[in-house]
Amino acid sequence: MKISTPVENPSPAMLKAFEGPSVEDDFVVRPWGKVLTGYAPIKNAMGVVVGVVAVDMDAAVVEKRMDFVGQTIYLILFLGILSAGLIIGIFSRTMIRDIHMLIESANKISRGDTNVSISIHRSDEIGELASSFKRMITSLKILMHQDYQNE
């Protein structure tokens, strides 16, 4: 189209451009190819809209950028899930290791072995449980010592 060529059937986006910038909702086929078209109002010195300017961007360029954004989103999503999985795996492994250590200590104590050392130093519930086990072992040693002296 030439400059100042009137448009016979303006699209809703083109008509909306008389109020402010607008863009076609979808790609448009022009004689020069498939494009995404944006419109902006043209104002005279008094600020009155006297026309609309249209700018076409090749659809291939837009689609290429959309593909890049889509691939980037998938990559970030994948890396986020992978990172979360690794963090959860590491956290779970240390938690399970400490729980197994407490179970083994409890089994030794149930067999009468009070020479159990618990080397868990955490500030969460498992750490509290380990501290309780340590106090229990100390109490058992004291009770066993007192029973031994009373005999």
How far, in Å, CA of 35 to CA of 29, rounded?
6
Q: Are residues 102 and 41 in the same domain?
A: no
Q: Are residues 78 and 135 in the same domain?
A: yes
Per-residue pLDDT of the chain (151 residues; tens, 9 = 90+): 566 677 788 889 988 999 999 999 888 888 888 999 999 999 999 999 988 888 889 989 888 998 999 999 999 999 999 999 999 999 899 889 989 988 998 898 888 887 888 888 888 888 898 888 888 888 888 887 776 676 6
Asked if residue 94 belongs to a domain, the reply is yes
Structural domain span for residue 79:
65-150
Element (H, E) at 38: strand 33-43
Asked if residue 5 belongs to a domain, the reply is no
Q: Are residues 142 and 70 in the same domain?
A: yes
Q: Are residues 48 and 122 in the same domain?
A: no
The interaxial angle of helices 59-110 and 125-150, nearest 10 deg, is 10
Q: How many domains does the chain have?
A: 2
Q: Are residues 99 and 139 in the same domain?
A: yes
Q: Are residues 83 and 105 in the same domain?
A: yes
